[in-house]
Structure 1
Amino acid sequence: MTFQHDNATSHTAHSVCDFLQDRNVSVLPWPAKSPDLNPIEHAWDLFDRRVRAGAIPPRNVRELAGALVEEWGNISQQELANLVQSMRRRCTAVLNAAGGHTRYWLLLF
C-alpha cells in the first residue's frame, strides 16, 4: 500500500512515520506545501463554495456535516474525474514554475 499526504508537520512526526513503517505502508514522496498538486484540496474548495452558497448557512457542526454529506452526493463523478485528470497539467505547471505557485494554487486562495 502507498499513502500520499502533504508533508504537514503532523504527518511527518516520528510517531506517524513509525506507525506507517510498522504497517509496511510506503509514503509517496511529495513536495511540502503543494495544494496545487493535490486534487482533494480542490474538492474541499468545491465543497466549501457549495455549502457557502446554500440558502441557509450551517449553524453548528451537525448542520455542517449534513451539508457536506449532501454536497458530496451532488458532486458528479465527472467533476472528480476532471480533478484527477488534471494532474499532468498540474505537475507540468509546477515544473514550469520551478516549484512556485501556479494558477491551480491561486484557485484555492
Structure 2
Amino acid sequence: MSSARVGPLCFIKSRVNTAIYQEILEHFMLPSADKIYGDADFIFQQDLAPAYTTKSTKTWLSDHGIIVLDWPANLPDLNPIENLWGIAKRKMRDMRLNNAAELKAAIEASRSSITPQQCHRLIASMPHHIEAVIDAKEAQTKY
C-alpha cells in the first residue's frame, strides 16, 4: 500500500524466505511502485522479519535503488498496512466462507474496496501514532 492506493495482493503457499521475499518484491512491489511513483523516489517500509533483513535482501533493495525506512527492532508494530488489514478484516467479519478460493475472493474484494482516501488517512495518521509511542516511552498504546 501507499498513501495513494493499495497495490496487488500476492497469495503464497509457503513460508517466506529470502528468495521468496525477493521474488515478491520483484514481481509485485516494483511494478506497483512504478505505477504509483513512476521515476519519483519513495521510501519503502517493512518490518524486521528475518527474510526482510538478510544481507542478500538488503543488497537486492540497494541494487534496485529502493530506500528503506529505518525501523527499530523493539518498536511496536506501527506499520500502516496492519491498520489496512484491520479494515479489510472488519469488512469480512460476517462472511461465511467454505474454501480457500472463496477466502481469496473475499480478501481481494475487501482489499479492492479500500479507497485512496483511506490509504492517505492511514499514512497521514502515522506521525500521531509515533508520537503516542514516544509519549508512552515505547510501552503499549492503543495503536
TM-score of the superposed pair, with normalisation by structure 1: 0.77
The structure, 1 or 2, with the larger RCO (C-alpha pairs under 8 Å, 6+ apart) is 2
Identity of aligned residues (%): 35
Matched with 2:48 is: 7
Query: Equivalent of 2:64, from 23, 40, 52?
Result: 23
Point out 4+ residue stretches in structure 1 off by more than 4 angstroms.
Answer: none
Distance in 2 of aligned mates of 1:26 and 1:80: 20
Query: Structure 2 regions of 5+ residues with no counterpart?
Result: 1-40
Alignment of 1:35-54 (within 5 A): 35=77, 37-54=78-95
TM-score of the superposed pair, with normalisation by structure 2: 0.61
Alignment of 1:28-107 (within 5 A): 28-32=69-73, 34-35=76-77, 37-54=78-95, 56=96, 58-104=97-143
- RMSD over equivalenced CA pairs, Å: 1.9
Query: Structure 1 regions of 5+ residues with no counterpart?
Result: 105-109
Distance in 1 of aligned mates of 2:103 and 2:80: 22
Conservation of the 8 A alpha-carbon contact between 2:45 and 2:79:
no
Aligned residues: 101
Distance in 1 of aligned mates of 2:82 and 2:52: 16
Q: One-letter code of the match for 2:58?
A: C
* Cα displacement (A) at 1:92: 0.6
Conservation of the 8 A alpha-carbon contact between 1:6 and 1:34:
no
* 1:34-57 Cα deviation digits (max 9, x unpaired): 32x211101112212221222x2x
Query: Could you say which structure has the higher helix fraction?
Result: 1
* Cα displacement (A) at 1:14: 1.7
Determine helix, strand or coil for the equivalent of 1:7. Answer: coil
